[in-house]
A and B are shown apart, each in its own frame.
Chain A
Amino acid sequence: MAEGVRARVKVPSSASAGESVVIKTLISHPMESGQRKDSEGNIIPRSIIHRFVCDFNGQNVIDVNMQPAISTNPYFEFEAKIPESGEMKFTWYDDDGSVYEESKSVSVG
């Protein structure tokens, strides 16, 4: 696990049924590209978050395949449809096998 990984997500706490809401996510991660060299000239091995998924009540909102060209501290903004009250789940998958999770509840009514 990359050190001190921390995620932030911005989700409105309430919505009207069927409303489309804007979601923002940011996670601290070096996203080592595998293109850089250390001071001795050795390639620093690639170590990135390669996939990000957002689901709501088990149904998929967005599934993102990420390459090393995504900037350090990956940021995403997208929209989600909220059919009913429930839980928005965010999952990031690291090259090293680590999985980072975050969730927020959204109420409709």
Chain B
Amino acid sequence: MKTTSLKTMICTAAMLTLGAGAAAGQTDEKLVINGETEIITEAPAPAHLEGALDTIYSGWEFRSPTTRAVQMDDFDNPGMIFVDKARQVWNTVDGTEGKSCASCHDDPADSMKGVRAVYPKWNEDAQEVRTLEMQINDCRTDRMGAEAWGYTDTGMTSMVALISLQSRGMPVDVAIDGPAQSTWEKGKELYYTRTGQLELSCANCHEDHYGDMIRADHLSQGQINGFPVYRLKNAKLNAVHSRFKGCVRDTRAETYKPGSPEFVALELYVASRGNGLDVEAPSVRN
């Protein structure tokens, strides 16, 4: 029958299309923000992932067309309103030293360009790997004489978003060798360690099953190049460590604390799995 053969043809065509574009879940669409900033959302995996992944994908690729669209225009992206607020804070004096962020760092567009892309990063003076949050609080307490912010407070996450935005469209390139190597190794161990009553490691979902459905949702590779991320779920900007906490909790384990040495190490390792993907912050996810 004619209709049947047509249906078969459509089905076959659909299957071929699926087969052509990598695994299920990722889109072939390109992420272009404001019609001008092209973002790399698919890249060859960095060398250290050999044997684990061939290609790395931004979480944007796994989202539905409507969610993807919200990130393609800075006005539609509600994360930008938090960036606006942080920009105001950037220029506001706080603390005993009478300084604002701008007193030392002027315009973030110049001073913060490329910073997000290389964080977490080894700090020679402190002899530790530092996240952006740690660095911001160091500035606040040591240079401004201001109170430290809570690690995942909205004010902190908004400031991280403002700083991260200055690296948007630049590839993530965190250093994993030299003095940062032992922290990176620790993060890698955490990534592959099963935790909780469900006995799941990060890798069980985000390496072994990305692109597959988890209930009605597509599992991503758990890349953090888009953080901080505005989630439709809670309608606010979310920090990397908040997301880690949510994931670990869902394995039904006691989680580490945001800002803990364990999560700092994990952040360095997970960031390094995205070396080659562009910084997207503030991104939009479900």
Please report A residues at the B interface, Cβ cutoff 8 Å.
Answer: 4, 6, 8, 10, 24, 26, 28, 71-73, 75
Please report B residues at the A interface, Cβ cutoff 8 Å.
Answer: 75-76, 78, 80-82, 84-85, 235-236
Chain B, Cβ-Cβ closest to A10: B75
Contacts of B76 in A (CB 8 A): 24, 75
Verify A6–B75 contact, CB threshold 8 A: no
Verify A8–B84 contact, CB threshold 8 A: yes
**Given contacts A24-B76, A73-B78, A75-B78, are A6 and B235 in contact (CB under 8 A)?**
no
**Given contacts A8-B81, A8-B84, are A26 and B75 in contact (CB under 8 A)?**
yes
Bound CA–CA A8/B87 (angstroms): 14
Contacts of B75 in A (CB 8 A): 8, 10, 24, 26
Chain B, Cβ-Cβ closest to A31: B235
Looking at the complex, which one of B82, B84, B235 makes contact with A72 (CB distance below 8 Å)? B235
Verify B84–A4 contact, CB threshold 8 A: no
Verify B85–A4 contact, CB threshold 8 A: yes
CB distance from A26 to the nearest CB of B (A): 6
Residue of B78, B84, B236 with most partner-chain A CB within 10 A: B78
20 residue pairs A–B, Cβ–Cβ below 8 Å: A4-B85, A6-B81, A6-B84, A6-B85, A8-B80, A8-B81, A8-B84, A10-B75, A24-B76, A26-B75, A28-B78, A28-B81, A28-B82, A28-B85, A71-B235, A72-B235, A73-B78, A73-B81, A75-B76, A75-B78
